[in-house]
Structure 1
């Protein structure tokens, strides 16, 4: 077997392993989120606002990889559940922010520690050093894939 064939086979194997690992992780994460009474998209939006503070609605869609046509629907649902509210930008009427309500903050304080614990259980198969190495390697792989 020549070196190119070995590289091709290893690249395909890596793709399959990454895909299967991601599917397993995603399934466990979605099960955890569902137990919290949210769908994954709603959770992603709440998590983004929780970690970054109030944000322009369009920026949220870009950051959590939701189509611009869907972000309004998700924000509407979270607003109906009284977890977020729309806040107009005082300097630009075209921009509307999403911010956590008091109920959203209570939910955040209740669910994010549980979610963090679930993430720790999912990733307990790796020690901290292995996690750090994997983060760096996957970033490198992602950046390379974007360029090509």
Structure 2
């Protein structure tokens, strides 16, 4: 097998594995009337606290135009609220409501278990190596 064929195979395996992990977590999250992006925003707010809307878009890896739509949907569901920054009118923070906190606290443990079950086929050492390799590939790809 040529070097190119090995690289193409690695790409295909990575893509299929990513898709499978994505689908497994998506099914789990959709049971709670959320999509993956909505869950990612709520999870970030749960672990990091109130965040400027611009930062959420960067951290959750979605376009700034899309983050507004996602926050609008979460706000309509009563799960988040917007808070104007008192010192900078250009900045709006997003915060979990009490209902949002209750929801994420009730669903996050099962999400955590789902992720653990996905990766439990790897030893601690294999998981560490996988993380290092994927980080290296991601950093290199971002420079290309």
TM-score (norm 2): 0.95
| Structure with max Cα Rg | 1
Of 70, 94, 98, 1:74 maps to: 70
- CA drift of 1:116 comes to 0.2
Structure 2 residue 92 is the aligned partner of structure 1 residue 93: no
- CA drift of 1:6 comes to 2.1
Matches within 5 A, 1:1-148: 6-148=2-144
TM-score (norm 1): 0.93
> Considering only aligned residues, what root-mean-square deviation do their CA atoms show, in Å?
1.1
Gaps of 5+ in 1: none
Gaps of 5+ in 2: none
Distance in structure 2 (CA, Å) of the matches to 1:127 and 1:80: 42
Aligned with 2:2: secondary structure? helix
Distance in structure 2 (CA, Å) of the matches to 1:33 and 1:128: 26
- CA drift of 1:47 comes to 1.1
Distance in structure 2 (CA, Å) of the matches to 1:51 and 1:79: 18
- CA drift of 1:20 comes to 0.8
- Matched residue count: 144
How far does the alpha carbon of each residue in 1:109-133 deviate from its partner, in whole angstroms, 9 at most, with x for none? 1011111011111222212221111
Aligned with 2:71: secondary structure? helix
